[in-house]
Chain A
């Protein structure tokens, strides 16, 4: 159960982020221009995805340790919402890339990394849907999700060292924190991260409750 107070807080934070993020002051940077506002929406998606998939992993481990089907449902809900958030992160990133780098898709380790992550978790859903037996489904898919998560982390660590990235803070590009992210933007960016994360956790708990009712 998600505390009601936290959902109100998430709502208020996101209203603040939407209003201030769209009309607040941002530094005028060449190429980036107004698209820098996407920082409040694109980057928190990745943080949320990371958080949700980690909670999903914790639930998968708990399921294997205890065999309690509730943990399996929880893992599935968090991973489902995590993947949706990942797709949103990819879409917001693609729009941003079109206006700054000039193409919808570039061969960049972060883009490849996120695409591969989504592939891995898509395979998780394929596995789930191909198994009619509840217990077998839970066991196999949780084992698979643990492998996928570990390989994903390995991937995130290794990939940027192999290829250069266009993203800020990689491959000789300055990070946002150096000069772009002034204190005005920080005032919106940090709440945005918290707000989006709370919202997605809230959605996951609702998904979990629906799945539990359907069981």
Chain B
């Protein structure tokens, strides 16, 4: 019970930090809207769903990188010392994953809705939402850990991208294939195994980040 209340207040704290440095949130939003609009202008409505899925997930990936970089408060050593003394690392990373999942999920949905407003036709939209959610969970857990690594290494966007991109490739391959199959209206037998592997992957990445985070959070 005590742990739960700690996690709750940590989550609240994370959201407050996120909204305090709103410029990052806005820049992520602006990034996804403008790049979606740019790709719509380049491709038009003649876009087929396979190309669409590739474009959508790559734009989404870079928006996630953008959003994961909003961790300037981690540079504040005094505050980190304070956090060391009052919370367990597992709780901290859980709260961080929760916040990041909510944010990148919203970003993904906003991007998707933008495409719908432009008039691209999709089927099975109801099933696509949980896929975006699962993928947000994967992105959030991997990027929370890797952005912490890149902060400790005093790296910038480039280091985060170099470290995170290769390990996110399996996830992107599955999810772009899956979303193409879902939105093109294939029958569920074809894509059921992809949903299974996506769920497995999200479990693995969450577990990895919770298990490994305690080793890097103290110097």
Q: Are the CB atoms of B169 and A143 closer together than 8 Å?
A: no
**Closest approach, in angstroms, between the C-beta of A164 and any C-beta of chain B?**
13
| CB-CB contacts below 8 Å: A153-195 with B | 154-155, 158-159, 161-162
Q: Are the CB atoms of B170 and A119 closer together than 8 Å?
A: no
How far apart sit A159 and B177, CA to CA, in the bound complex (Å)? 11
How far apart sit A177 and B17, CA to CA, in the bound complex (Å)? 59
Q: Are the CB atoms of A127 and B153 closer together than 8 Å?
A: yes
**Closest approach, in angstroms, between the C-beta of B71 and any C-beta of chain A?**
15
| CB-CB contacts below 8 Å: B144-169 with A | 145-146, 149, 152-153, 155, 159, 162-163, 165-167, 169
Q: Are the CB atoms of A143 and B215 closer together than 8 Å?
A: yes
**Closest approach, in angstroms, between the C-beta of B146 and any C-beta of chain A?**
8
**Closest approach, in angstroms, between the C-beta of B77 and any C-beta of chain A?**
14
Q: Are the CB atoms of B166 and A120 closer together than 8 Å?
A: yes
How far apart sit A120 and B142, CA to CA, in the bound complex (Å)? 14
Interface size, A (range) = 20 to 34
Q: Are the CB atoms of A162 and B208 closer together than 8 Å?
A: no
> Which residue in A119, A126, A136, A158 is a CB contact (below 8 Å) of B152?
A136
Q: Are the CB atoms of A123 and B163 closer together than 8 Å?
A: yes
Interface size, B (range) = 20 to 34
> Which residue in A119, A126, A130, A140 is a CB contact (below 8 Å) of B216?
A140
Could you say which residues of chain B place their CB within 8 Å of the CB of A131?
153
> Which residue in A123, A154, A158, A159 is a CB contact (below 8 Å) of B166?
A123
Q: Cβ of A150 < 8 Å from any Cβ of B? A: yes
22 A–B contacts from the bound complex (CB under 8 Å):
A64-B212, A64-B215, A116-B169, A119-B166, A120-B166, A122-B166, A123-B162, A126-B159, A127-B153, A136-B152, A139-B216, A140-B216, A143-B149, A144-B146, A144-B163, A147-B145, A148-B167, A151-B167, A154-B201, A158-B197, A159-B173, A161-B197
Please give the residue numbers on chain B whose beta carbons come within 8 Å of chain A beta carbons, in ascending order: 142, 145-146, 149, 152-153, 155, 159, 162-163, 165-167, 169-170, 173-174, 177, 193, 197, 201, 204, 208, 212, 215-216, 219
Please give the residue numbers on chain A whose beta carbons come within 8 Å of chain B beta carbons, in ascending order: 64, 116, 119-120, 122-123, 126-127, 130-131, 135-136, 139-140, 142-144, 146-148, 150-151, 154-155, 158-159, 161-162
Contacts beyond the supplied A127-B159, A151-B170: 20 A-B pairs with Cβ under 8 Å: A64-B215, A116-B169, A119-B166, A122-B166, A123-B162, A123-B165, A126-B159, A126-B162, A126-B163, A135-B219, A136-B219, A139-B215, A143-B212, A144-B149, A147-B146, A154-B170, A154-B201, A158-B174, A161-B197, A162-B177
